[in-house]
Amino acid sequence: MAFAIHFPPSRCTTLALALLPVAIPAVYLLYLSRVVSKNTQSSSGCRIPRKTQPSSSATPSSSSESTTPWNPVTLPEDVRADDSQWILAYERVVSHPIPTSSLSVAVPFTTTNPPATPATASTATPADPPDDLLRDYSRATQAAFSWTPQALLIRSSIREPHVRRTFDADWIANRAFAPGDLVNGVYRVAYRGPGRDPSASDRVELVLEAPPSYRGPVPRALIVSEVVEASASPPRDEASDEQQVVFVNETWMWRRQNEKPVLIETPAGKWLHTLLAGWLVTKGVQAVVGDRRTSQ
């Protein structure tokens, strides 16, 4: 018969066991931060109305880029205006350049039509469906997000069965990410088309749209997923002449001056959100890197 001798736990053992719930997540976050920093670069900034902005507020904070991103097509006109009274914050996470030869899907970049205007972007239907690369990348990032604590919390707050269905892996895997598509309960595709450079970029913009049963806070925000030719958007590996692309995730949030700072304005919120966005970009890139398909 087997038996065991039980010793009363020492104070050190008790303390170590008590700290495990804190230590394990902390170690994982550090590991995740290292992985994300090796695969992505980030930048952020905040535009404050001119009458109230301090001299340094217009300068983006960045670990990789010093230029403000192109305004999303679906950004409301009163927010994008130069004399806007809205405080606008952005976060941009960019993958390291990826050689196109390592991608499982060919890079199309054949769009010649100019971007839709902000007034019609939310209702415009493009002539062509999203290309396979951007579609597959978007599917992977949204599928990864669907298992995060944030997504699980959102899902638990939604009652409509048809909306809860949009969190399912098979639902996301069958979305074309064309205007009107809904994923993860609150993210509605409002625009799909070219970005700043119509010949070298393709983007999807998702706006937050809460269902009637959702009672949680709904920030004013939109998400951008984009594939950009590296030569058209730094950083680029100058040592290689091969065509390369970067994968982008942008978050844009805006608020009135008398409202509390949004998530990406606060140091802790910004760090955690950048970490999450970097992880999503990394998962998206992993999903589209592989053997080139023989049939397109």
- Give tens-digit pLDDT for 230-267: 865 555 455 556 789 999 999 999 999 999 999 999 99
The pLDDT of residue 111 is 40
The pLDDT of residue 158 is 92
The pLDDT of residue 97 is 94
The pLDDT of residue 195 is 83
The pLDDT of residue 239 is 53
Question: In angstroms, rounded to a whole number, what is the distance separating the alpha carbons of residues 134 and 270?
Answer: 26
Q: List, for the chain, all residue ranges whose pLDDT scores fall below the cut of 70.
A: 1-28, 50-68, 109-131, 231-241, 291-296
The pLDDT of residue 59 is 43
The pLDDT of residue 104 is 87
154: alpha, beta or left? (left if phi > 0; alpha if psi -120 to 50)? alpha
Question: In angstroms, rounded to a whole number, what is the distance separating the alpha carbons of residues 99 and 226?
Answer: 16
Domain boundaries, the chain: 21-258+267-288
Burial class (CB in 10 A: 0-12, 13-18, 19+), 88: buried
pTM, 2 dp:
0.78
The pLDDT of residue 118 is 43
The pLDDT of residue 218 is 82
